[in-house]
A = this chain, B = another copy of it.
Amino acid sequence: MEIDIFSDEYFMREALKEAVSAYEEDEVPVGAIVVIRNKIIAKAHNSTELLHDVTAHAEILAITAASNHLGSKYLNKCTLYVTLEPCLMCAGALFWSQIGKVVYGARDEKRGYSLFAKHNALHPKTKVTSGIMQDECSELLSNFFKKKR
């Protein structure tokens, strides 16, 4: 009997760990990981405050790290797990990377790419799954913004 320990929940939990690290560093708590054949090759969390850099979203840092690891700018065999729906910038980056699959947790009702893109902003070959551990992902964000008020 073969037991598959890997699931979208398994990997989203790893992305969520990254989001918790962001929370602890007083960054908007979003985490992302990149996986290829069930192996995590990149982990990142939002670091815009630390780096004074709006481009330092979890997804952008994870794409850069994954490409660096693979020595390839295309990530068509990879899946990105991210705790929050990507914004337009990150969706644009994911388009260029031709990433195989994107799995996100909570929807972003304010800046999610699906609200702003005319057509699908992602590559036509990119698969998308959403809502994985969305309650945990969004609760962390709500707690962060409550603390900030």
Contacts and interface: CB of A to CB of B under 8 A. Distances in A.
Interface of A: 48-49, 51-55, 60, 63-64, 67-68, 70-74, 87-93, 95-97, 115-119, 121
B55 A55 contact: yes
Interface of A is mostly: helix
25 contacts: A48-B96, A52-B68, A52-B70, A53-B63, A53-B64, A53-B73, A54-B63, A54-B74, A54-B93, A54-B97, A55-B60, A55-B96, A88-B89, A88-B91, A88-B117, A88-B121, A89-B91, A89-B93, A90-B92, A91-B92, A116-B118, A116-B119, A117-B117, A117-B118, A118-B118
A25 to B, nearest CB: 15
